[in-house]
Structure 1
Amino acid sequence: MKDADRIHGAAHESHIHDSAIKHVTGRAEYTDDITEPAGCLHAYIGTAGIAHGHITALDLDAVRAAPGVVAVLTADDIPGRNDISPNGLDDEPVFTSDLVQFFGQPVFAVVAETRDLARRACQLAKIDYAPLPHACDIDAAEGADYPDVTAPLTLERGQVGPALNSAPHRIQGRLRVGGQDHMYLEGQIALAIPGEDDEIALFASTQHPSEAQHMVAHTLGVPANAVVVNVRRMGGGFGGKETQMNLFCVIAALAAKKLGRAVKLRPDRDQDMEITGKRHDFRIDYDLGFDDQGRILAVDGVFAARCGWSSDLSGPVTDRALFHADNAYFYPAVRLQSRPIKTNTVSNTAFRGFGGPQGVIAAERMIEEIAYALGRDPLEIRRANFYRDGADITPYHQTVEDNILSRLVDELEQSSDYQTRRRAVLDWNARGGPIRKGIALTPVKFGISFTATWFNQAGALVHVYNDGSIHLNHGGTEMGQGLYTKVAQVVAEAFQVDISRIKITKTTTEKVPNTSATAASSGTDLNGMAALDACTRIKARLVEFAAAHWNVPRETVQFLPGRVTMGAQTVSFDELIKAAYMARVQLSSTGFYKTPEIHWDRAAGKGQPFYYFAYGAACSEVSVDTLTGETRVDRADVLHDVGRSLNPALDLGQVEGAFVQGMGWLTSEELVWEGAGRLRTHAPSTYKIPLASDRPRIFNVRLADWSENVKPTIKRSKAVGEPPFMLPISVFEAIGMAVASLADYRICPRLDAPATPERVLMAAERLRAST
């Protein structure tokens, strides 16, 4: 291809992340790097020291008298609504003045000249309590008859009871799946700057600027148009900044408006971890019927989740766990029920996968149960149960279309040399010894769209300036995943210009209103289409102008790399734009997109909540020391479907990162609350995320470059943020196989997650005792 016909940074090319060089050189500006306005104050949050009880006395005199303290805020200082519940259930006060519902609940905030002075002043508060009994886990809350934090969901199809009773084989079991801290590199932070009248501007690390805008507005008692929320980039989010940032934005804004000075709020990592929500941990009970060939006949499952003290996003998270409890498999008769249980712990929230991982791992556990019961290779059982023609209806009554799983799995089985390596693993384990090996190949089917249908919309704003440079703004937020770069590539290709012409600007509520959270893997799908819509509108005006100006038919006007042709005539892009400007052609446009076809009736448990499915498969091999419980991932092979990739380099990075983060969830990351209800794993020193040394020793990751989305998504691509997170379930299953070798693979080891060395060792001892 000639250079003249090449667009640097066009869609479907690997192109460097727009902030990559800034990231590695330290020049990327985050919220804490913004130059503080003159007189900027700093806030810190004072929290409750019990898990459940009433506040009987609150003495803040010593706090107010502490050095550098300018103000102390309590619930009485909130002029509007004392609530930041994201779902309108009015169950999440900013500050509590009476009932404490978890250890670390915000009671007041100190505003001081420095952050250190504010933090130290918080420790001088005297709070008396009348303690109440507390329940910090699912079993305790159930025993204390705690309520659900939101309405549960049931998905049902077929006659489950009769199908279970008539099944040749039936297994009942329980799986516990642990939670996970987001451990973003940049913690929660907000900077609020008061303006004139009722105006206030915030710079924050949030995935949902519009929600932060509305929360600040209603706590201040002002309209949304008085509040502007700005986000240039985040140092990670993973769902932890979808709703949890509301608290920090609101407190900073309250203080700024009360004092008429800028206020920054940045908690310590310990406090950040103590008072922000996590991935929900689940207790999953399953009743499974199957035949002699390993085909599933019926599934009855109850998915109980530790939700915490308020509803937050627990309703949709537990709903989505049910949506993915089938994973890749057809259940002829099925009943799935959620139990979003209230506990006296921090309110759990969105996390990469949004309940999907907990559903998928349940499906894979049932496959594992069948394989061990029948003495078969789990991959055979998986294949026997894959969705296929005539068996393609999900538990929520959506038809599975574009099912490419069989091709993906077949291709990965060959490229990973699964069968040869499985035989080698069996031979190794047959020799005995403390080091046992395991191998597993697991699939992923993941639905893409917000299940809250109204969130499936996006807006964009594109300006073309008269020098030919382009300004791009949309409602998506950049948290390192490359969203800004991908959308800029879409715009570059639309205008056939070099990506360097495009200025990617911060997300702000004053340019694109009513945006949805950058979540549910939908950021590129939604914002890319909205930006393309804006470009299409501008291009239509340019074509109309060019046809009239050069007196040619409209159909002869073509945008080519760096130039525009009108029949036999050619001008540069810059020349066209300058001429159009002089002729008073509008060179700016908004764009809008809403996902088509989707609908969902929650009461009936039926609909089409997902626009399409993304698929993937992973083969992992592990070594397990059965004397210590330590595990090592020797090799992982991944083949993942992203449709027609907008940027293969970025997509590969997302798959690799998701795999390692998922490994952490399943092997090392463990949340521990002590008896009094305090989180003890509240810092990197007590909470173990994967290290570089924990990555698979051999790590082969490929994209299914033959795939193309059958739905007209942006450039026929597919979402990549969440689906690959479930690929390391193959690691978890491989660990199970290694342990199962101790009982000649006759007993399902029933490991709970995370498979920490302690849990692996206890499972190994159980199986040794059974022989």
Structure 2
Amino acid sequence: MRKLPDTIVQPPASARGTAGSRIAHDSAWKHVSGQARYIDDLPEPPGLLHATVGQSTQAHARIKSMDLSAVRAYPGVVAVLTVDEVPGHTDIGPVFPGDPVLAGDLVEFIGQPLFAVAATSLRAARQAAKLAKVEYEPLEPVLTTKDALAKQFFVRPSHTQQRGDPDQALAAAPHRLQAEMHVGGQEHFYLEGQACLVEPTEDAGVFVHTSSQHPSEVQKLVAGVLGLPIHEVQVEVRRMGGGFGGKETQAAPLACIAGLLARHTGRPVKYRMARSDDMVQTGKRHDFYNTYDIGFDDEGMLQGADIMVAGRCGYSPDLSEAVVDRAMFHADNAYYLGQARVVGHRCKTHTVSNTAFRGFGGPQGMMIIERAMDDIARHRGLDPLDVRKRNLYGPGRDETHYGQIVEQHVLPELIEQLEASSDYRERRQAITGFNRRSPVVKRGLALTPVKFGISFTAKHLNQAGALVHVYTDGSIHLNHGGTEMGQGLFIKVAQVVATAFQVDIDRIKVSATRTDKVPNTSPTAASSSSDLNGMAALDACETIKARLVDFAVETYAVSADEVEFANNQVRVGKDRFGWADFVQQAYMARVSLSSSGFYATPKIHYDPETGRGRPFLYYANGAACSEVVVDTLTGEYRVIRTDILHDVGQSLNPEIDIGQIEGGFIQGMGWLTTEELMYSDKGQLMTTGPATYKIPAASDAPEDFRVALLAHSPNREATVFRSKAVGEPPLMLGISVWCALRDAVASLADYRYSPPFDSPATPEQVLRAVTATRQWLADNGGDSSCKSA
């Protein structure tokens, strides 16, 4: 890797579409015109077969027998495979073992794949799979996090982070509260479901078209199940119709099964899941059971904390170790906890293995401390915003419970700006008056911050590669290890290249992510893709530029300082050449115009044995102020207004970043309000489609929605052009809606009582909180001097 300068300063933009420009997503016109091609839009090759799997009907059982004769005899069926026909590895766990590609003699969740079917039509494959006769020996399932905690049933060992002596601090604190809460999971509900197309190649390998955030992992796992070296498998990802973490590990099983069937039959195989199968068979955001024990002074300042976060991981480890780790890292959110202990448990249950989801455990960890901020405020008769502001990290109170120092204190100023621009104080006063006059309809208001760590918590994933070709006509080909799922990564990295060479964005073409162009890539996740791939692309550009400068110095007898790239031109001393003309000159002089690039995130480290380190290069920050109106007779509510101020550093593309902030907020709001995953007492998922699982609609968005980027806030770390990540942090801004709903209910007791309030805050949940608040009022006789947690 060519060493990049420690301080990267963006040159003055003159070419069109360089970094910082508000230009459209590179595929926007294809999206709206229907010309963007997804896996199911690819031309079907001759002899194509369609795949599906037979699913377990038991949450936990041994398979006594499995008769597949009727499946094999169904018209159109070409192949039926069980785990016994797998030529290579049978375990496709992405990090730790525990995920069989097809079940053996044990099943551990309803929907687990038992066998694979390939048929000449998708209908035939699905109809045939239903004809299997499977005899089970049922075993007792563990279905809830609390049951798993009681039985100490974990997929990975528990973990503790601690600073100081929290037990002593809690005992000495003037005030002390305890609480517990359940934080619901979330279905990814991407527009494009899981899909892949696998074609056999002439050398016994396969070519995989997949809708995956992690093509290198797909490549490795497909090679493993087929018993092939990795170089025999090529994987391509042009785009996804949404991912949100649901295609980080969950796309690989489809590719492995399609690869097995393609290798067995010698024919191309497409595997596209129906929405209901997708929801049953693929993992979701982990639901959590969290508790706190906190001590604080009269002003609400935290002095000690003992926090527990327990994630329902499902039947296998998948990514749960890192998900629960990140929940632990974010159990403080934006607040200095004092002397603190945070314990994380990875609970095993006989349900589908939960997986990555935008925020990757961070949102679930933040929920318990945000509840605590409200509880402290109600207990002390304070405004929740004042309690939050007093507890923010700041100079002298800047060390997290895992030992990282918060170096850039953005939030105090950011919150002050949002407090003023949203008219928080005036609205708080008006809402309090309204609630006193309105016995049924109540309004709520909350302003909540977000501090989110940026980097993969698995250190080895913090690396990226890129490939840049400059052609003789001046056009530029760019390839990198990141994948495009609609978030605008491709256009952002293209803007980095345009800035490096100071040429128009139209000169740059970003090609599909392919494992034979940039190998050994990390997943597009953790909000790190612009940081990683942008820097890798810049590294490649700087290598090519250095060659061009050397050519100019040697050819025109000038110093390197006299060579400048600007406005689609190259200035060499007193001469100016068009970009394409200069590139042609360099080619004729046999200058290499192609380079790979590489970047590895510096400074990060973490020791799981001590629970201390610096797992993040920097923190992204933001805040949201949301107002809601609640009908306390029905539990129904609306979000009236949301104001957001978010810090993206020196934005690579403000238009894309604002879109990410808006979408992230709405998705976070949905997670905490309408999106409820329901299971039967047997472990069967009951919410398997849009009729029963409610994602936010356009009508659920705030009636008044204001989003702004924090001005003049370049990243102190040497990220690409001093930008900051924007993919995941905005999701947690949705916590402001949950807190506002709780605020509205608390007004029933004149803000003297914090009702129990799990998420998602469905109307039913709101009504339960209303009932609890009214019961508290009855028990306390409406005495305003009484206070309670």
Is TM more than 0.5 here?
Answer: yes
How far apart, CA to CA, are the structure 1 residues paired with 2:342 and 2:277? 36
The answer on 1:751 being equivalent to 2:780 is no
Query: Which one of the candidate residues 143, 146, 150 is aligned to 1:136?
Result: 143
Partner residue in 2 for 1:702:
708
The answer on 1:19 being equivalent to 2:9 is no
- 1:102 counterpart letter in structure 2: F
Partner residue in 1 for 2:50:
42
Partner residue in 2 for 1:57:
65
How far apart, CA to CA, are the structure 2 residues paired with 1:146 and 1:267? 35
Partner residue in 2 for 1:225:
231
**Cα deviation, residue 524, structure 1:** 0.3
How far apart, CA to CA, are the structure 2 residues paired with 1:471 and 1:350? 31
Partner residue in 2 for 1:91:
98
Contact 1:156/1:335 (CA < 8 Å) preserved in 2? Answer: yes
How far apart, CA to CA, are the structure 1 residues paired with 2:761 and 2:407? 34
Contact 2:478/2:508 (CA < 8 Å) preserved in 1? Answer: yes
1:269-315 CA distance string (max 9 Å, x none): 00000000000001101111111111001110111111100000110
Q: Which secondary structure state, in structure 2, belongs to the residue aligned with residue 7 of structure 1?
A: coil
1:203-244 CA distance string (max 9 Å, x none): 000000001111011111111111111000000000000001
Contact 1:464/1:587 (CA < 8 Å) preserved in 2? Answer: yes
How far apart, CA to CA, are the structure 1 residues paired with 2:204 and 2:721? 43
How far apart, CA to CA, are the structure 1 residues paired with 2:341 and 2:554? 63
Contact 1:146/1:343 (CA < 8 Å) preserved in 2? Answer: no
Partner residue in 1 for 2:397:
391
**Cα deviation, residue 146, structure 1:** 5.2
How far apart, CA to CA, are the structure 2 residues paired with 1:565 and 1:697? 52
**Cα deviation, residue 140, structure 1:** 2.9
How far apart, CA to CA, are the structure 2 residues paired with 1:71 and 1:651? 47
- 2:363 counterpart letter in structure 1: P
How far apart, CA to CA, are the structure 2 residues paired with 1:410 and 1:690? 30
Contact 1:136/1:673 (CA < 8 Å) preserved in 2? Answer: no
Query: Which one of the candidate residues 561, 581, 584 is aligned to 1:578?
Result: 584
Partner residue in 2 for 1:118:
125
- 1:708 counterpart letter in structure 2: P
Q: Name stretches of at least 5 consecutive residues in structure 1 with no aligned partner.
A: none
Partner residue in 1 for 2:191:
185
Equivalent runs, 1:350-429 vs 2, <5 Å: 350-429=356-435
**Cα deviation, residue 383, structure 1:** 1.1
**Cα deviation, residue 467, structure 1:** 1.2
Partner residue in 2 for 1:548:
554
Contact 2:13/2:502 (CA < 8 Å) preserved in 1? Answer: no
How far apart, CA to CA, are the structure 2 residues paired with 1:152 and 1:612? 26
Contact 1:458/1:593 (CA < 8 Å) preserved in 2? Answer: yes
Root mean square deviation of aligned Cα? 1.0
Equivalent runs, 1:317-716 vs 2, <5 Å: 317-716=323-722
Query: Which one of the candidate residues 307, 312, 326 is aligned to 1:306?
Result: 312
Q: Which secondary structure state, in structure 1, belongs to the residue aligned with residue 499 of structure 2?
A: helix
Equivalent runs, 1:237-276 vs 2, <5 Å: 237-276=243-282
Partner residue in 2 for 1:766:
772
Q: Which secondary structure state, in structure 1, belongs to the residue aligned with residue 154 of structure 2?
A: coil
Contact 2:462/2:532 (CA < 8 Å) preserved in 1? Answer: yes
Partner residue in 1 for 2:87:
79
How far apart, CA to CA, are the structure 2 residues paired with 1:640 and 1:570? 41
Q: Which secondary structure state, in structure 2, belongs to the residue aligned with residue 107 of structure 1?
A: strand
**Cα deviation, residue 551, structure 1:** 2.4
- 1:138 counterpart letter in structure 2: T
**Cα deviation, residue 45, structure 1:** 1.2
Q: Which secondary structure state, in structure 2, belongs to the residue aligned with residue 294 of structure 1?
A: coil
Contact 1:155/1:395 (CA < 8 Å) preserved in 2? Answer: yes
The answer on 1:160 being equivalent to 2:166 is yes
Contact 2:94/2:319 (CA < 8 Å) preserved in 1? Answer: yes
How far apart, CA to CA, are the structure 2 residues paired with 1:341 and 1:6? 54
1:387-432 CA distance string (max 9 Å, x none): 1111100011000011110000000000000000000000000113
Q: Which secondary structure state, in structure 1, belongs to the residue aligned with residue 286 of structure 2?
A: coil
**Cα deviation, residue 638, structure 1:** 0.2
- 1:134 counterpart letter in structure 2: P
How far apart, CA to CA, are the structure 1 residues paired with 2:158 and 2:318? 14
**Cα deviation, residue 510, structure 1:** 0.2
Q: Which secondary structure state, in structure 2, belongs to the residue aligned with residue 212 of structure 1?
A: helix
**Cα deviation, residue 5, structure 1:** 7.6
**Cα deviation, residue 362, structure 1:** 1.2
How far apart, CA to CA, are the structure 2 residues paired with 1:403 and 1:686? 43
How far apart, CA to CA, are the structure 2 residues paired with 1:146 and 1:48? 26
1:607-657 CA distance string (max 9 Å, x none): 000000110011000000100001110000000000000000000000000
Tell me the TM-score normalised to structure 2 length. 0.96
The answer on 1:107 being equivalent to 2:114 is yes
How far apart, CA to CA, are the structure 1 residues paired with 2:659 and 2:747? 34
Tell me the TM-score normalised to structure 1 length. 0.99
How far apart, CA to CA, are the structure 2 residues paired with 1:535 and 1:762? 58
How far apart, CA to CA, are the structure 1 residues paired with 2:240 and 2:399? 39
1:649-683 CA distance string (max 9 Å, x none): 00000000000000000000000111121100011
Query: Which one of the candidate residues 322, 326, 334 is aligned to 1:316?
Result: 322
How far apart, CA to CA, are the structure 2 residues paired with 1:700 and 1:95? 48
Q: Which secondary structure state, in structure 1, belongs to the residue aligned with residue 564 of structure 2?
A: strand
Q: Which secondary structure state, in structure 1, belongs to the residue aligned with residue 694 of structure 2?
A: coil
1:467-504 CA distance string (max 9 Å, x none): 11110000000000000000000101111111111111
How far apart, CA to CA, are the structure 1 residues paired with 2:170 and 2:559? 69
1:165-197 CA distance string (max 9 Å, x none): 111111111011000000000000111011122
Contact 2:756/2:772 (CA < 8 Å) preserved in 1? Answer: no
How far apart, CA to CA, are the structure 2 residues paired with 1:140 and 1:599? 34
How far apart, CA to CA, are the structure 2 residues paired with 1:22 and 1:568? 43
Query: Which one of the candidate residues 185, 195, 202 is aligned to 1:196?
Result: 202
Q: Which secondary structure state, in structure 1, belongs to the residue aligned with residue 633 of structure 2?
A: coil
**Cα deviation, residue 59, structure 1:** 0.4
Q: Name stretches of at least 5 consecutive residues in structure 2 with no aligned partner.
A: 1-11, 778-789
Partner residue in 2 for 1:286:
292
How far apart, CA to CA, are the structure 2 residues paired with 1:198 and 1:311? 32
How far apart, CA to CA, are the structure 1 residues paired with 2:317 and 2:498? 42
Quick one: structure 1 residues 5 and 594, their matched pair in 2 at CA, closer, same or farther if it must change by over 3 Å?
closer
Q: Which secondary structure state, in structure 1, belongs to the residue aligned with residue 328 of structure 2?
A: helix
How far apart, CA to CA, are the structure 2 residues paired with 1:486 and 1:697? 30
